Chains A and B, each alone.
Chain A
Amino acid sequence: MKKVLLILLAALFIAVGCQEADASQDAEQQENPGSDTEENTVSDEPVEVIFWHAMGGALQEALDQIVASYNEAQDQVIVKAEYQGTYDEALTKFNSIAGTENAPTMMQVFEIGTKSMINSGGIEPIQTFIDQDGYDMGQLEENIINYYRVDDQFYSMPFNSSTPVMYYNKDAFEAAGLDPDNPPATFEEIEAAGRTIMAENPDMKGFALQAYGWLYEQLLANQGALLMNNDNGRTDTPTEIGFTEEEGKSIFEWVERMIADDTFANYGTNGDNMVAGFMAEDVAMFLASSANVRSVVDSAPFEVGVAFLPYPENKERNGVVIGGASLWMMNGKEEAEQLAAWDFMKYLQTPEVQAAWHVGTGYFAINPAAYEEQVVQDAYQEMPQLKVTVDQLQSTTSSVATEGALMDMIPEARRITESALETVYNGGDVDTAYQAVVDQMNAAIEQANRARGE
């Protein structure tokens, strides 16, 4: 029995001893930071910048190349690019460590995460560095910076931007007697083209629309509709949806008409399957991000055309909202580290880097000067389809609709529209599907506003 007691006492001593050791270590650490920074400024140790991104596959390779060339070009800063999964996953990871020392120096976040990043409190608006440095944001593409300018401030640096475009099979158009250089521009023209193509080749469906909330938002914006009220959340936090019944339903009804014609190919929410179906000549037209232009054109066994996003006949074309992502600076980091990250951000905006990025992926050049670069000119000669996406963006009418909506529950809104689209694809009633979108989205907006506790 005494032995047990001794063991217990010994354990107690060890526990107390550990705590004391911890305390003394803490004290040492508290003394250290001062000396650390002194050392840093004196020595020529390069500053390390941790950069979280969500670029997988071929996009990651293109990004890694840019990072490597930056690290080689100078010896003050070392950028470490770390892939953190999809945009959603990366944002979730960031949210759980925002404001702690585990946070990266800078991070790539998708456009619909803008509002929740601002609300997270873990970021330093890049406006701070723009002012310090006198950096000219005016040199960047106007339509892109319009999206990221919130209350006349830049919170993040635009980086990779894309818009949706329509891909079509030129060979199939020719076979059906349609003009391959004059693709359909409206919903109605697409329906007609689909019917013609199917009459010629019954194995090929006319059109595929992936059940993807982003595309629904784009098709709304293209007809000048708002996604959220209060000017798409630009003047005040949205309190309900911003589109009218006619606008919101037009897309569902369009799909319904194509299903009735039997010209619609349903690939559900899976974009990869849709592209595979296009490659296998199962479907003649589909909508997808312009970031895919290079890979689709390169790997299709037929000639691929790229066209503007369609709109309903009785409306004007308004243009597109930029999609993609921007770069965010974290707060609570040492100034040297932040300045190093800022330097890297500026490097990414140079025409040379943007030209390589644009040509290598299909994302826009944020800096229009990049289009003058020889690499880009050569690429346009070789692949004119790359240019369509730039033309579409530059012909976009600047308005609240095309500036895009700002709200933190947009990821949820996307899933709501996706399941409504699927309902219609599978023969569901348009009115019920649309009503579900309105009810669920308004409820989600209300919930999000309450959760902020303001």
Chain B
Amino acid sequence: MKDTAVILSDEKQIDVFKAVKKQKLVRFLKGMLFLMPSIVLFSLFLFYPLGRTIYLSFFLTDGSGDPTVFVGWENYLNLFTSPIFLKSLRATFLFVLYTVPGTILVSLFLAILANEKLKGIGIFRTMYASTMGISVAAASVFWMFLFHPTIGWLNQILQALGFNSIGWLTDPQWALLAVSISTIWMNLGFTFLIMLGGLQSIDRYLYESADIDGASYFYQLRRITLPMLSPTLFFVITVTFINAFQTFGQIDMLTRGGPQNETQLIVYSIYQEAFMNYQFGPASAQAIFLFIVILLLTLIQFKLGERKVHYQ
């Protein structure tokens, strides 16, 4: 900054080249000034931790997270031979597969229902969006009661109907599905709201002219609603996708990664490795691996998905 001052005060004769250069520099500094808040915040909370994580992933650490032994790529290689990590990888992909389409389909259905102009529809819109106001912790506690093996409502209903009760959170066959169901429920509010907003912003005249042409309801849905909603859908899919990969709260509350590591999603596995086993090196390697996976999948999604998106 002092250099700028020197250049400016020394400048006496008019030199076009210098003037342009000076202007560019000032413009650059001005731009940086405006960017400064986000640059500072990003470096403090994202870039520095990212760099630190990459650094740690090449080390073994002591209990307080200070690196002790340099091991190179070993932490990464160990990931792919560890049966527990491979299992958590599988669980994560399954979880994404259950929750993303589940959330999108259910909330799309609800949004289309709530988009109808009926008396008292406001009540339903509020109701459908209400899960947005419930924290993950509160929702998990609520679902934990529903899933309780003996006194939970779900099992009581099953028994009343003459079925065997299910060990929702203790049976390895069911646990991931149970956590997925509660996650879909938690996600509904937000996705519903965004999709309803998307539906509301579609121009009425499109439907009017389709009506005049005699198009059926489902034809309109397929040919008008979905294409016009595609930017919203794309946004919602990307966000739920990334959220699903980063799920932590409900796992910690409902299953703690069990039974038999069946619901040990990667983020929970990172938490366990770092803050319960105090192995910050392997945990960092897992974190970097997750970062790369999400990055790649998001890129692929943008490449493939964006072609189908119709912007007005």
Contact between B69 and A450, CB atoms less than 8 A apart: yes
Whether the pair B64, A96 counts as a contact (CB closer than 8 A) is yes
Which residue of chain A has the shortest Cβ distance to B277 in the bound complex? A412
Interface size class, chain B: 35 or more
Evaluate contact between A453 and B68: CB separation under 8 angstroms: yes
Cα distance A92–B261 when bound, in Å? 22
CB-based nearest A residue for B171 = A426
Residue pair A269, B60 in contact (C-beta under 8 Å): no
A residues less than 8 Å from B170 (CB atoms) = 266-268, 270, 422
In the complex, B225 has a CB within 8 A of chain A: no
Known contacts A116-B63, A268-B169, A451-B68, A4 near B258 by CB under 8 Å: no
Say whether B301 faces chain A, with CB atoms less than 8 Å apart.
no
Contact count A vs B, C-beta below 8 Å: 109
B259 adjacent to chain A (CB < 8 Å): yes
Interface contact A423-B64, CB-CB below 8 Å = no
Q: Cβ of A95 and Cβ of B278 under 8 Å apart?
A: yes
The 8 A CB mask of B237-278 against A (1 = contact, 0 = none) is 000000000000000000010111100000000001001111
Contact with B along A411-438 (1 / 0, CB 8 A): 1100100110011011010000000100
Q: Determine, out of A34-42, A219-227, A274-282, A374-382, the stretch whose residues face the partner at the interface.
A: A274-282
**Taking the nearest CB of chain A, how far is it from the CB of B264, in angstroms?**
9
CB pair A88 B150 closer than 8 Å: no
What is the CA–CA distance of A447 and B60 in the complex, to the nearest angstrom?
Answer: 8
Q: Does B65 contact A (CB under 8 A)?
A: yes
Nearest CB of B to A277, in Å: 6
Contact B278 A5 (CB under 8 A): no
B167 contacts A by Cβ under 8 Å: yes
Q: Are A419 and B64 in contact (CB under 8 A)?
A: no
Contacts of B26 in A (CB 8 A): 1, 4-5
Are A415 and B63 also in contact (CB < 8 A) when A1-B26, A426-B260, A450-B69 are? no
Tell me if B68 and A423 are in contact (CB < 8 A).
no
- A451→B171 contact, CB < 8 A: no
B149 contacts the other chain (CB 8 A)? yes
Q: For window 1-29 of chain A, which residues contact chain B by CB distance below 8 Å?
A: 1, 4-5, 8-9, 12
Q: Which among A119, A211, A444, A453 has the greatest number of chain B C-beta atoms within 10 A?
A: A453
A96 and B65 contact, CB distance less than 8 A: yes
Contact A12 B30 (CB under 8 A): no
Is A408 close to B, CB under 8 A? yes
A451 & B65 in contact (Cβ 8 Å cutoff) = no
A297 close to B (CB within 8 Å): no
Q: Does B151 contact A (CB under 8 A)?
A: yes
Q: Are B259 and A269 in contact (CB under 8 A)?
A: yes
Binding site for B on A (CB under 8 A): 1, 4-5, 8-9, 12, 88, 92, 95-96, 98, 116, 119-120, 211, 266-270, 273, 276-277, 280, 282, 408-409, 411-412, 415, 418-419, 422-423, 425-426, 428, 436, 440, 444, 447, 450-453
Q: List 7 A-B contacts (CB under 8 A).
A: A9-B1, A12-B1, A116-B278, A119-B62, A120-B64, A452-B68, A453-B62
B interface residues with partner A (beta carbon < 8 Å): 1-2, 4-5, 8, 26, 29-30, 33, 60-65, 68-69, 83-84, 148-151, 167, 169-172, 256, 258-261, 272, 275-279, 281-282
